Amino acid sequence: MKTLYLDCAAGISGDMTIGALLDLGLPLEVLQDGLDRLGLPPGSFRISLEKTSRLGITATHFVVDAPDQHHHRHYSDIKGLIAASGLTDAVKALSQKIFLRLAQAEAAVHGVPLDKVHFHEVGAIDSIVDIVGTVIGLDYLGVATVISSPLPFGSGWVDTAHGRLPVPAPATAELFKGLQVTPDSVPGEWVTPTGAAIVAALATACGPAPAMTMAAIGCGAGTKKCEQRPNLLRAFLGETAGDQEQILVMETHLDDMNPEILGFLMDRLFEAGALDVALAPLQMKKNRPGTRLTVIADRTRLDELARLVLTESTAIGVRYYPVERITLERSLESCSTSLGPVRVKRVRLPDGRSRVYPEFEECRRLAIERGMALLDVYRLVENEAAERP
């Protein structure tokens, strides 16, 4: 699986990301053609690249020249612009995903509904170009998975349309939720809202570099000159064995709760997007029997799932921590069998072979309808589905 690892030791911004993708081989002409499909007014922007150096390291600096920018756009305006564009559906979907994360952060900071979010700097043409251009680059390079290093927290102050604000800027800080951040000894704003949104929306994990077969390295230069470290975003492109991502494990111990309610809580957690929920018996203080509730979830679901646990149980706290996992490529498909069509999960192994797992409810239904043993139905479906490529 083609994987892009973003080394954000010196931060990340939109222009640094595109610079790194250009350095990896994205042709400027392909980028220009894709951006032209946005339908922005003719002549409203020009893009260029220049080879530069940061503390002796060669890098690509991406430049957007948009002198007559309109700095104030609502989220709905940008959403409509992308939807009406001539971009591919895949590029549209990922671009919308990044802008949605930005809009959610701004809505939380300013306490307004999503449709009322008013972009300032991020509504400018150069920021729109940075976000959509990033997705065009990922699509061209065939990137399937994005993983990011921890992001530098930054310090000091930054001037914005709202005035002078502390670093990280409020929207950036909101986007940091669920991501790993690290203290930074170099003052300044090193992660922009656009850069944080790219990581928050696209990265499946935020942590160490994955095990991968390296193919290419691209360096995107930031605009700031810094003597303490090279102001670069390094992007490592390579192949990984499986789909690597970072998820959260949430836990709490319960010893004073009616066990009948635990089943209801489990159902609610699955409905809210938990990847898995488990209940395990344990012996707690004062020799009281208790239950460990474990929830596995995407990091974006933390707030909603924690609220459910604290509302629907007697827990007064929830522990959570990030973990890495590698998953195999899988698909849900319908297979024709001698018992009729049956849905199965097909899992692709690293060596190219596949395994088939029949869906329980389908097999249960067939066992009842045909008067067969459930185990016999499982075996028949497995054998017949496995014979298909």
Task: Indicate the domain borders of the chain.
Answer: 2-241, 244-324, 329-386
Predicted structure pTM score: 0.67
Q: How far apart are CA 71 and CA 69, in angstroms?
A: 6
pLDDT tens, residue order, the chain (389 aa): 789 999 999 999 999 999 999 999 999 999 999 999 999 888 888 999 999 999 999 999 999 988 755 556 888 889 999 999 999 988 999 999 999 999 999 888 888 888 778 776 554 788 899 999 999 999 999 998 899 999 999 888 888 766 788 989 899 999 999 899 999 889 989 999 999 999 999 998 888 898 889 999 999 999 988 888 999 999 999 988 766 677 899 999 999 998 889 999 999 999 988 999 999 999 998 889 999 999 999 887 888 999 999 999 999 999 998 888 888 887 888 888 899 888 888 888 877 788 889 989 889 999 999 999 999 999 999 888 877 65
Lookup: tokens for 98: 């990044």
Which of helix, strand or coil describes residue 326?
Answer: strand
CATH match for 244-324 among 3.40.50.1970, 3.30.70.1380, 3.30.950.10, 3.40.50.170: 3.30.70.1380
Decide: helix, strand or coil at residue 136: helix
**Is residue 117 within 8 Å of 110, Cβ to Cβ?**
yes
Pairing state between β 181-182 and 151-152: parallel
CA–CA dist 17, 23 (Å, integer): 10
Distance separating alpha carbons of residues 326 and 372, to the nearest angstrom = 37
Residue 71: phi and psi, rounded to 5, are -80, -10
Q: Considering only CA atoms, which of 223, 218, 168 is closest in space to residue 197? A: 168
CATH of region 329-386, choose from 3.10.20.300, 2.40.50.140, 3.40.50.360, 3.20.20.60: 3.10.20.300
